[in-house]
Amino acid sequence: MKNATITGWGRCIPQPVVTNAELATVVDTSDEWITTRSGIKERHVSHVQNSDMATLAAKRALAAAGRKPEDLDYIVVATCTPDRQIPSTACYVQIKLGAMKAAASDINAGCTGFIYGLSMAQGLIATETAKTVLVIGSERITSYLNLDVRETAVLFGDGAGAVIVEATDEPVGVMSMILGADGGGAPSLTATGLGTEFIGTDADLAVIMDGSEVFKNAVVKMGECTVEATEKAGWTPEEIDLVVPHQANTRIIDAVRRRIRADDDKVYINIHKYGNTSAATIPIALSEALEEGRVAPGSKLIFVAFGAGFTWGGAAVKWGDRVTPINVIDDELPEPDMTGLEIMRARHLVFQS
């Protein structure tokens, strides 16, 4: 059976930034509350479509892998904020890349989406249905935020991350995969106003979350997934070189770190810069960790996430030989013509009118 290894990585962070202090001018909150309760200092807000961020992250990942769009057999986009319900965002990415040999589909597993997408890539490769798979986590979740709902308006940000996953006979890549879901958690983290259930109703668009319920479940499940993925890979916790966790709250991440008795430097954190970017979080964090030299040849990595559904997942990934990109491209998103705060306010007014 073929192994599935990550050979390319990239991210796309939209330029507009909203600091906590700026957000506090339109949301009933404070920098102090957001920082101490979540660890977030600022977030980026997209001025382009989700598929535009996803496509740029994908181009960077393809360059890093030294691959061309026509090498791709499958494109999976993990997102809960698609450009449209029909067709999938993955199909937009396919045409924007010109990856005409690739099949394409989306996955919605909330914040766990990237790990679900990675498991799909692993399965496609193991069964030799595909050799080269593009897995993207991409979210434009600030578009869903209701600035009157302060419990969630301050937590999320936009961005995209992508990886190229390739078949190999070497003993590297995805070494174990743990996945789970509990649909009973649906009321604790949901979005109103979008979907067929709301057609003909006057429900406001809003992300609704029972923060403490989600927090408690996230701590338990992310801790369990980390331990189970490690054991299933045949590793001990001491062998883990870096945990790249979903970034929803520094206190959740710290609980996961304590569960495996790891030092701070074994857990990657970038939530202060981006907030919770849902399915985009892990591939964004992975690409930054690589750039910062936090991943070495043969590193033992754990990806772990918890999200809406509830869903959860953990993956043990043994890194290959290469930790530097083969190629780098200089493509950028277009310059925004509004500030991040202006974009958030404009979206809010449209949805509430």
Binding-site ranges for ligand UT7 (CB under 6 A): 29, 33, 37-38, 111, 150-151, 154, 211-212, 214-215, 218, 248-249, 252, 276, 306-307
> In this complex, which beta carbon is closest to ligand UT7, that of residue 172 or of residue 222?
222
> In this complex, which beta carbon is closest to ligand UT7, that of residue 74 or of residue 215?
215
Q: Which entry of 3, 111, 146, 217 is annotated as an active-site residue? A: 111
Report in angstroms how near the CB of residue 250 gets to ligand UT7 at its nearest: 9
- Please name which of 108, 157, 117, 123 lies closest in space to residue 136, comparing C-alpha atoms: 117
> In this complex, which beta carbon is closest to ligand UT7, that of residue 49 or of residue 188?
188
Report in angstroms how near the CB of residue 257 gets to ligand UT7 at its nearest: 15
Phi, psi of 17 (to 5 degrees): -120, 145
Q: Which entry of 146, 246, 249, 348 is annotated as an active-site residue? A: 246
Report in angstroms how near the CB of residue 133 gets to ligand UT7 at its nearest: 24
- Residue facing ligand UT7 at closest CB distance: 211
> In this complex, which beta carbon is closest to ligand UT7, that of residue 157 or of residue 320?
157
Q: Compute the radius of gyration of the chain from its Cα atoms.
A: 19
Report in angstroms how near the CB of residue 29 gets to ligand UT7 at its nearest: 3
State the CB neighbour count (10 A cutoff) for residue 200: 7
Q: Which entry of 20, 146, 217, 276 is annotated as an active-site residue? A: 276
Report in angstroms how near the CB of residue 33 gets to ligand UT7 at its nearest: 4
Q: In angstroms, what CA-CA distances link 79 with 17, 210, 309? A: 21, 21, 13
CA max distance for the chain: 56
Q: Is residue 326 helix, strand or coil?
A: coil
111 is catalytic: yes
β-strands 132-139, 159-168 pairing: antiparallel
Partnered with residue 76 across adjacent β-strands are: 105, 135
> In this complex, which beta carbon is closest to ligand UT7, that of residue 26 or of residue 126?
26
246 is catalytic: yes
327 is catalytic: no
β-strands 159-168, 103-107 pairing: unpaired
- Please name which of 75, 144, 152, 133 lies closest in space to residue 107, comparing C-alpha atoms: 75
Q: What residues contact 307, with CB distance under 8 A and at least 6 apart?
A: 109, 110, 111, 112, 113, 189, 246, 278, 279
Q: Which residues are catalytically annotated?
A: 111, 246, 276
